[in-house]
Amino acid sequence: MSGDLPTYLTTREMADLLRVKERKIYDLAAAGEVPHSRATGKLLFPREEVLAWIASASDAPAADAMRPPVVLGSHDPLLEWALRESGSGLAALFDGSLDGLDRFEAGEGIAAGLHVVQEEGWNTEVITRRFRYRPVVLVEWAWRSRGFIVAPGNPAGITRLADLAGRQVVRRQAKAGGQLLLERLVAEEGLTPPAATGPMARDEREAALAVLDGRAEVAFGLEASARQFKLDFVPVCEERFDLLVSRRDWFEPPFQAFVAFCGTPALREMAASLGGYRIEQLWRPHFNGG
């Protein structure tokens, strides 16, 4: 990491590194709590001393600490299948995009899947903000078709966001990428968010099952999940699903076994069978941390 930082950091760079406001950096310097220099008339922070200060003060796992072989974050049917079929030995703990990033940052896994909407595009803003100086890479997994999962024949006639009013809509956890996207789309159209009266689902499979068994009229979910349970699907948008991976663990045997499996025809065939996937840019990098 140190090789990618300047020899002396500015106040802004220090704030980015520590993920605090610049005012906090001035306070730390004034109190003599962080290594700094005023030799040029402005605050500068010597890289090596700062990194040593962080290492001595932090309770977080070291950047090169061993991580358990677990893939965290948002649930994706194709990813779940590939992890199982690859023989890599990698386990999965899927509980939402932001939950995965929190757990990844705490050292609880080697990778995290996410689909976090931003002003333009997907995922890079939150990753740059949280992992700019970390030894991680963000790579593309797939583009996925997301929309309304409804019962066969679409008896409720749901074709647009405004139609969700008064309906039993599957709820997702607050840290789920699908929930964040639905809230954003609803706000952009100036609509009232759907009432939180529908059943809770913690992954894409549970969301579709809630519609299948009649506990909900609609879920904002994946085309792949709708097809899996022979439900109808109304497309709304495409989203980019990425994987944040520890750079060290990328080159370890478990993840390399997973990468090798994903290069076989089996992955392409399963993506086509599930439906609603585009994987032409598999492993395309979108962010490379320090």
Residue, of 22 and 53, whose pLDDT is higher = 22
* Per-residue confidence band for 60, with pLDDT thresholds at 50, 70 and 90: very low
* Per-residue confidence band for 30, with pLDDT thresholds at 50, 70 and 90: confident
Residue, of 216 and 31, whose pLDDT is higher = 216
Q: Is the pLDDT of residue 55 over 90?
A: no
Give which of 239, 244, 237, 238 is closest to 286, Cα–Cα. 244
For tokens 């809630």, what's the residue?
A: 210
Q: What is the pLDDT of residue 166?
A: 93
Q: Give the chain's end-to-end CA distance (angstroms, integer).
A: 5
Q: Is the pLDDT of residue 1 over 50?
A: no
Cβ burial 157-188 (10 Å sphere, 16+ → b, else e): ebeebebbeebbbbbbeebbbbbbbbeebbee
CA distance 69 to 66: 9
Q: Is the pLDDT of residue 61 over 70?
A: no
* pTM reported for the whole predicted model: 0.82
* pLDDT (tens digit per residue) in 190-205: 999 988 889 999 999 9
Average pLDDT over residues 57-68: 64
Residue, of 256 and 31, whose pLDDT is higher = 256
